Chain A
């Protein structure tokens, strides 16, 4: 998959990315395959039913997760034996359920992105508006996001300090900006590194001070 990807495959990738949040590509024996990881529900189903699947668990994984090319059950029978088995193995590996190391790495990768302003905004919006999920927020445009962010700051009594590009290059304090363990507003204010708690937000406004 490292070499030049043909335009037709790129078009397919673009279309699939709009439908599936996470997709992977792999070139096996000159053929391009695009697949999605197993969902937790799919993985649990395979674990529970594999004794009854009569050796077809690999076929099930392949059919469930390979998004491109479009392959029928009949096609699978006439593919090279290893293609299906190896892709099924790779799909399980990338899905992260089978190995503690893979799971740990995925969690760590995602934790590292929590310092990004984008993820901090999502966390604040979820905290202030419990009915919102990250997936719903991903559908917002930036105008709606910033409007909700301003409302969230009012509700939570905090202000998100969006770091400048220069600030981003400096080292960040360890630990996340939000503690979800408590709803205590006062504790929330005093413990958050990247948030700048205000004594009285409305009073600052009246005095003509900086609001952001």
Chain B
């Protein structure tokens, strides 16, 4: 972690909401709470700009952009459990409206 783990207060959370809009939390193993935000289109396009980029690198970029808490850098991510980055990426993608199941209606 890049800095000592902050104590989460409602004030901090409200500040993030004001800054980012909708934010989400997920508890993975070891009761570690992660707070993340959805990804904007412009950020997503930057991540996928090079089709040669390995998927694992793209996942790291997504998590680095959208994970609000705890604050992690690339070195921290490398030390996380193997599936954490992929799981967080899936959660961020879902929060970003990927995987729409709604069927369009002919009007």
Residues of A within 8 A of B (CB): 1-2, 13, 16-17, 22-29, 34-35, 54-56, 76-87, 90, 94
Contacts and interface: CB of A to CB of B under 8 A. Distances in A.
A87 B98 CA distance: 10
B97 A24 contact: no
B106 A24 contact: yes
Interface string B41-84: 11111001101000000000000000000000000000000000
A77 B103 CA distance: 24
B41 A2 contact: no
The main secondary structure of chain B at its interface with chain A is loop
Interface in B1-21: none
Contacts of B107: 13, 16-17, 23-25, 34
Interface residues of B, number: 24
Given A55-B49, A79-B41, A82-B93, A24 B100 contact: no
Nearest to B39: A81
A212 to B, nearest CB: 35
B98 A81 contact: yes
A80 B97 contact: yes
A27 B102 contact: yes
A55 B48 contact: yes
A77 B100 CA distance: 19
A28 B40 CA distance: 15
Contact of B104 (A25, A76, A83): A25
Listed from nearest, the 6 A-B pairs whose CB atoms lie closest are A81-B44, A82-B97, A82-B98, A77-B42, A86-B100, A24-B104
Identify the interface centre among A34, A54, A80, A81: most chain B CB within 10 Å of its CB: A81
A79 B22 CA distance: 13
B43 A81 contact: yes
Contact of A81 (B51, B97, B103): B97
